[in-house]
Amino acid sequence: MEMWLKEAQIEDAVMTYKVKETLVRKKTEYQDLAILDTNFFGRMLVLDGIVQTTIKDEFVYHEMITHIPLFTHPNPKKVLVVGGGDGGAIREILKHPSVEKAVLCEIDEAVVIECKKYLPEISCALDDPRCEVFIGDGIKYVHEHKNEFDVIIVDSTDPFGAAEGLFGGSFYKEISECLTDDGIFVAQTETPFYLPDVVKKVFNDAKETFAITKLFMAAIPTYPGGYWSFTIGSKKYDPENANLDTTVEFDTKYYTKKIHKSSFALPKYVEDLITK
């Protein structure tokens, strides 16, 4: 028997992955959760039929969503991740020696439980003493914590269904209040090739709140189009012109100082999206 996961990138372009084994498949309170094993990509987390992360290429997303803001901030001590129940962002955050506390606020406890069980390479830092895992609504959590975090990372699923409230102007205002006076916000903000209107709206929403708002890109093979946008909003430090001279050294597979700066160079069609 051959099993293939079919993932529609758009209606008429469907990516398919041959599945060796379904390690877990369950309806959680919030979504359809599966962890599948594949030959080339290894194990992958799939939520509502969409590939979230794979052992083979997770490093791109997790390095870029964390190291860009954390190397921009001169001394990040407290970091909040909204979503990101797989733990990959937390693992990267805790490589920064300045970080004293990293809070993971994930709405769906099942994601944390299953990723701890089946994706230990990604979830390995969730038991670190500097990490606090809070199961609950990110919007509520952000609303109830003011002036507390140096960096807030929104590591969410797509802006449809459960994560819809994590995209848009009112949430970004709450995030700004949850940040310290020189805090930095970053979010995954989808594909400019397939969803240009989403990128445009989210960027303009963030721009209304943050003094410095920029878009940066990373090449993620298992995400539709292979080229993903992140929106970063900063109160004080310009992430594109961050001082990286004193950057601590640790092993990476995607991020470098040169990649940090160059990820803000946008293809003309992406630049036009957010400036026109």
Q: Which residues are annotated as a binding site for spermidine?
A: 62, 86, 155-158
Residues 23, 168, 225, 238: which binds a copy of itself (CB under 8 A)?
225
CB of 65 to a copy of itself, least distance (A): 15
Residues 60, 94, 154, 206: which binds a copy of itself (CB under 8 A)?
60
Residues 6+ apart with CB under 8 A from 185: 69, 151, 152, 153, 154, 172, 175, 176, 179, 206, 210, 232, 233, 234
Question: Which stretch, 7-15, 81-89, 135-143, 182-190, contacts a copy of itself (CB under 8 A)?
Answer: 7-15
CB of 211 to a copy of itself, least distance (A): 22
Is there binding between residue 221 and a copy of itself (CB under 8 A)?
Answer: yes
**Closer to a copy of itself by Cβ: residue 85 or 88:** 88
Is there binding between residue 236 and a copy of itself (CB under 8 A)?
Answer: no
Which of 155, 182, 205, 238 is flagged as catalytic? 155
**Identity of the amino acid at 41:** F
Annotated binding site: 31, 62, 86, 106, 137-138, 155-158
**Closer to a copy of itself by Cβ: residue 78 or 91:** 91
Residues between 246 and 275 that touch a copy of itself (CB under 8 A): 252-256, 258-259, 261-263, 265-269, 271
Question: Is residue 238 annotated as a catalytic residue, yes or no?
Answer: no
Is there binding between residue 114 and a copy of itself (CB under 8 A)?
Answer: no
The pair of structure tokens assigned to 259 is 């990649």
Residues 31, 34, 38, 67: which binds a copy of itself (CB under 8 A)?
38
Cβ atoms of 210 and 266 within 8 Å: the answer is: no
List residues near a copy of itself by CB under 8 A: 4, 10-18, 38-41, 57, 59-60, 193-194, 217, 219-221, 223, 225-227, 252-256, 258-259, 261-263, 265-269, 271
Q: Which residues are catalytic?
A: 155
